[in-house]
Structure formats: C-alpha cells, structure tokens
C-alpha cells in the first residue's frame, strides 16, 4: 500500500503557474477582438487547452504521477474529442 508518496510542489512553482494562467487568460480575452473568422473557436480552445494542461500537470499534480494515470487522463479527453468529431460527421453533412 503506497501512502504519502505524493511529491511536494514548492510554493514558488505554484505562483509561477498562476502567473502563466493569468497571462493566458489575458491573451484569450484580447484575442476575441481580433477577427479570426472560422479559427476563433480553434484558437480559444487551444488557449483553454494550454491552460488546462497547466492545471492538470502542476495543480493536479499529473506531472509527478505515474504514467498509467497520465495515459488514462489523456484517453478520456481523446474519447470525448472523438465522440464530438463523429457527431459532426452527421451535422456537417446534413
């Protein structure tokens, strides 16, 4: 039974991650005023994805967890993305 094996993330690392996240929030708001046409959703999702990646890796500690857990998390996101894509095979061609 594995207990107390969680790595300790230092305070300053957490502060730095917060600053990165706040910066990305600022970016995502500013980017709204640009006219990117069809790409605006992609860019918004990309930035959100990067923010999510930082939350998952550092706040939720995935960077220091075992590989199996990281793969599982990735698979869940992939599953969701695939389901959305397949649904659009219907909607895009109706």
Partner 1 sequence: MSEKTVHVEVHRDDEASKLGMWLFIFTELLLFGGLFLVYSVFRAEYPSNFHEGSLELSVTIGAINTIALLISSMTVAMALTAIQKDNKKLALALISITLILATVFLINKYVEWGAKFEHGLYPGSPLMKYLDRGHLLYFSLYFFMTGLHALHIIVGMVLLTICLFKVRSGNVNSKSYIHLENGALYWHLVDLIWIFLFPLMYLIN
Partner 2 sequence: MSEEFEKTEYVSYLEHKGKYTGIRSWIYTLDHKRIGLLYLYAIIALFFVGAILGMLMRIELVKPGETIMKPQTYNGIFTVHGIIMIFMVVIPGLSVVFGNFFLPILIGAKDVAFPKLNRMSWWIYIIGCMLAVASQFMKDGPPDAGWSFYAPYSTTTSTNVIMATFAAFVLGFSSILTGLNFIVTIHQMRAPGMKFMNMPLFAWAIYATAWTQLLATPIVGITLLMLIAERLFGIGFFNPDLGGDPVLFEHLFWIYSHPAVYIMILPALGVITEIIPTFCQKKIYGYKAIAFSSLAIAGVGFLVWGHHMFTSGMSDQARWFFSFLTFLVAVPSAIKVFNWLATMYKGSIDLKPPFLYALSFIFLFTIGGTTGLLLGSVATNIQVHDTAFVVAHFHYIIFGGMGFAFFGAIHYWLPKMYGRMYNMKRATTAWVIIFIGFNLLYFPQFILGIQGMPRRYFDYLPQFQTGQIISTVGGFILITGLIMMVYNLVQGARKGEIAPANPWHGSTLEWQIPSPPSLENFDEAPVVKENPYDYE
38 binds partner 2 (CB under 8 A): no
Neighbours of 31 (CB within 10 A): 14
Give the one entry of partner 1, partner 2, none that residue 25 binds, where binding means its C-beta sits below a cut-off of 5 to 8 angstroms depending on kind: partner 1
| 45-15-44 Cα angle (round to 5) | 10
Selection from partner 2, partner 1, none that 57 binds (CB < 5 to 8 A by kind) is: none
Does residue 87 belong to the site contacting partner 2 (CB under 8 A)? yes
Partner touching 10 among partner 2, partner 1, none, CB below 5 to 8 Å by kind: partner 1
In contact, 64 and 7? CB cutoff 8 Å: yes
**Chain CA centroid to CA 58, Å:** 11
Long-range Cβ contacts of 25-34 (<8 Å, 24+ apart): 25/51
Does 67 participate in binding partner 2 (rule CB under 8 A)? no
Q: How far apart are CA 27 and CA 25, in angstroms?
A: 5
- Interacting span for partner 2 (CB under 8 A) from 6-14, 21-29, 41-49, 84-92: 84-92
Residues contributing to the site for partner 2 (CB under 8 A) = 1, 76, 79, 82-83, 86-87, 89-94
């Amino acid at each position: 039974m594995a207990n107390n094996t969680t790595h300790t993330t230092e305070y300053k690392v957490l502060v730095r991650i917060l600053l990165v996240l706040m910066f990305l929030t600022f970016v995502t708001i500013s980017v709204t005023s640009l006219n990117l046409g069809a790409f605006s959703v992609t860019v918004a999702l990309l930035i959100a994805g990067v923010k999510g990646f930082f939350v998952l890796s550092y706040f939720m500690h995935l960077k220091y967890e075992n590989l199996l857990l990281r793969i599982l998390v990735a698979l869940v996101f992939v599953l969701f993305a695939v389901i959305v894509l397949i649904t659009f095979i219907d909607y895009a061609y109706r």
